[in-house]
């Protein structure tokens, strides 16, 4: 997007912001368009059923080049197995409200006749039941404009539009939804820096980085933690709140069930500290887990651990240690003051995270207490995933006690069934 167009894009409604209609951009898909004095834009256009036919391999991003925008599609052309998503989440400052939003280019439910362009929103207000919707768009476009324009996307169908915008330096983001049932606008201002899975910080002039986390699955974190400002209208009610959130990019050569056995996420902001932890349990390499955590103080990274460990990803206590001695200990808490799932087996009520940095003789301890179920998906065998909104407390340890900072926290705990699951079967192909 040209610099002069950024303001117009942020102010227009989703239906207006991508004029002319996306269908007119079909000829320009994956080609530079609208060249300016110092930049040109690249648009990737996809219609509902676009897919490379047959068992065809397609290009997929596994490591990025210098200064590449992470909002660009990682899989330019879909085949029958590969998929990707743009994900945003947030929790209110009191831990009582939450959202999750994602748009997908993903063929793995195409057999249902719904197409490949999914949009998903779940909103958890403080005074009522959760609102969830899954829409399948007729068309989608992702446009990236170097030179300051950032990346914007739109997923659109009859009666609805979902959009996102991410600044080129990934310091800001925005997503919107417009439909007959609900309207939302969410603004994000980063409290952190974009990072690779190994905790290398992204920069325009930085060296290329590896994006693999487990076999056939990839992840980048444009915004590990952000201040979020949310405005939602639904059920004839208006909700407005401020809290913490983040933005992720996830993609894989096969569906999630084929690549992943489990997933854990912890994200919070407490005083000057903001933290993001992601843990991917591999399905292709049993008992192998990749974990990556980064903590920032006033926007600068002060602690990080990333690495692969072996063991049961469903264990109550997990520990990851780097060669330099930095380590994390993640403990699930049971029977505490927090709420828990009513539908899944794992009745966790909170988590404790201990960060240890021997070289500087530093240690931090944070405890998250769950206050609300932000979203949940129930699979089989009592397995599935739950996203919790909650409150974190903790800080640096001095003597026997941790200094107490308090703030909002988001935690997701997911485990796939061990047996066959008809809706998302293993789709691995050699």
pLDDT, tens digit (0-9, with 9 covering 90-100), for 286-302:
889 999 999 999 999 99
pLDDT given for residue 67 in this prediction:
66
Give the residue-averaged pLDDT of 8-25.
Answer: 33
**Confidence band (pLDDT; 50, 70, 90) for 66?**
low
Positive or negative torsion for Cα 214, 281, 343, 389: negative
Query: Which residues make Cβ contacts (< 8 Å) with residue 344, sequence separation at least 6?
Result: 376, 378, 382, 383, 384, 386
Which range among 14-28, 141-155, 350-364, 398-412 shows the weakest confidence by mean pLDDT?
A: 14-28
Tell whether the model's pLDDT for residue 65 goes beyond 70: no
Query: Is residue 15's pLDDT more than 50?
Result: no
Whether the per-residue pLDDT at 429 is higher than 90: the answer is no
Does residue 31 have a pLDDT over 70?
Answer: no
The DSSP H or E segment spanning 76 is: none
Asked whether residue 11 carries a pLDDT value surpassing 80, the answer given is no
Q: What angle do CA 8, 194, 395 make, to 5 degrees?
A: 120
pLDDT value, residue 38: 42
- CB neighbours of residue 63 within 10 Å: 12
Write down the pLDDT at residue 207. 75
What is the mean predicted confidence (pLDDT) over 164-171? Answer: 97
Is the model's pLDDT at 324 over the cut of 80?
yes
Residue with tokens 């103080």: 297
Mean pLDDT, residues 139-147:
94
With a cut of 50, say whether residue 268 has pLDDT above it.
yes
The more confident residue out of 209 and 74 is: 74
Show the beta-strand stretches assigned E in 139-255: 139-145, 150-157, 160-166, 172-179, 182-190, 212-214, 217-234, 237-252
Comparing C-alpha atoms, which of 285, 347, 349, 277 is closest to residue 318? 277
Residues sharing a CB contact under 8 Å with residue 51, sequence separation 6 or more, in sequence order: 78, 79, 80, 107, 110, 116
Q: Residue 28: what pLDDT?
A: 37
| Mean pLDDT to the nearest integer, 388-394 | 98
**Separation CA 372–CA 340 (nearest Å):** 8
pLDDT surpasses 80 at 122: yes
Kindly state the tokens that stand for 17. Answer: 């912001």
Question: pLDDT by residue (tens digit) across 68-121?
Answer: 789 999 999 999 999 999 999 999 999 999 999 999 999 988 878 899 999 999
pLDDT given at position 400: 72
Q: Characterize the bridge pairing of strands 384-398 and 405-415.
A: antiparallel
Superfamily of domain 3-415: AttH-like domain (2.40.370.10)
Tokens 């799932």, located at residue? 341
Q: Determine if the pTM surpasses 0.75.
A: yes
pLDDT at 19 over 50: no
- Given a cut of 60, whether residue 198 has pLDDT beyond it is yes
Distance CA 22, CA 117 (A): 14
Whether 37 has a pLDDT exceeding 50, the answer reads no
- pLDDT at position 228: 99
Kindly state the average pLDDT of the residues 150-175: 98
Residues 230-265 pLDDT 10s:
999 998 899 999 999 999 999 999 999 999 999 999
Q: What is the DSSP letter of 32?
A: E
Tokens standing for residue 377 = 């998906």
Contacts of 398 (CB under 8 A, 6+ apart): none
pLDDT of 422 reads: 62
Lowest mean pLDDT among 33-37, 103-107, 201-205, 272-276: 33-37
| Domain spans, the chain | 3-415
Residue entry with tokens 């690549």: 259
């Amino acid at each position: 997007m040209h610099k002069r167009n950024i303001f117009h894009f942020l102010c227009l409604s989703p239906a207006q912001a991508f004029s002319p209609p996306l269908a007119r951009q079909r000829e320009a898909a994956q080609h530079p368009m609208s060249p300016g004095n110092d930049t040109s834009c690249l648009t990737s256009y996809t219609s509902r059923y676009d897919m490379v036919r047959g068992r065809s391999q397609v290009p997929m991003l596994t490591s990025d080049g210098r200064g590449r925008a992470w909002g660009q599609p990682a899989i330019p052309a879909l085949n029958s197995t590969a998929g990707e998503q743009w994900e945003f989440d947030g929790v209110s400052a009191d831990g009582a409200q939450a959202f999750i939003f994602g748009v997908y280019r993903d063929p793995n439910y195409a057999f249902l006749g719904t197409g490949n362009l999914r949009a998903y929103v779940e909103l958890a207000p403080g005074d009522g039941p959760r609102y969830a919707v899954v829409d399948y768009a007729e068309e989608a476009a992702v446009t990236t404009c170097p030179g300051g324009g950032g990346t914007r996307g739109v997923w659109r169908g009859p009666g609805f539009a979902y959009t996102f915008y991410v600044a080129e330096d990934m310091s800001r983001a925005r997503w919107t939804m417009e439909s007959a049932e609900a309207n939302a606008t969410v603004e994000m201002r980063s409290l952190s820096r974009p990072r690779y899975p190994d905790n290398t910080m992204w920069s325009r002039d930085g060296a290329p980085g590896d994006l693999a986390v487990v076999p056939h699955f990839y992840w980048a974190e444009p915004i590990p933690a952000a201040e979020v400002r949310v405005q939602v209208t639904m059920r004839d009610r208006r909700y407005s709140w401020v809290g913490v959130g983040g933005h992720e990019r996830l993609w894989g050569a096969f569906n999630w069930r084929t690549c992943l056995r489990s997933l854990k996420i912890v994200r919070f902001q407490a005083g000057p500290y903001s933290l993001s932890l992601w843990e991917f349990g591999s399905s292709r390499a049993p008992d192998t887990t990749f974990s990556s955590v980064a903590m920032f103080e006033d926007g600068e990274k002060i602690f990080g651990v990333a690495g692969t460990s072996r063991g049961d990803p469903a264990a109550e206590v997990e520990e990851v240690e780097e060669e330099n001695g930095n380590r994390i200990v993640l403990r699930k808490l049971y029977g505490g003051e927090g709420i828990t799932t009513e539908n899944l087996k794992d009745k966790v009520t909170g988590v404790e995270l201990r960060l240890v940095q021997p070289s500087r003789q530093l240690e931090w301890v944070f405890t998250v207490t769950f206050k609300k179920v932000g979203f949940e998906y129930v699979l089989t065998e009592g397995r599935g995933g739950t996203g919790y909104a909650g409150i974190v407390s903790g800080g640096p340890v001095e003597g026997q006690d941790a200094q107490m900072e308090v703030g909002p926290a988001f935690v997701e705990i997911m485990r796939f069934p061990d047996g066959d699951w008809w809706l998302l079967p293993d789709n691995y192909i050699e």
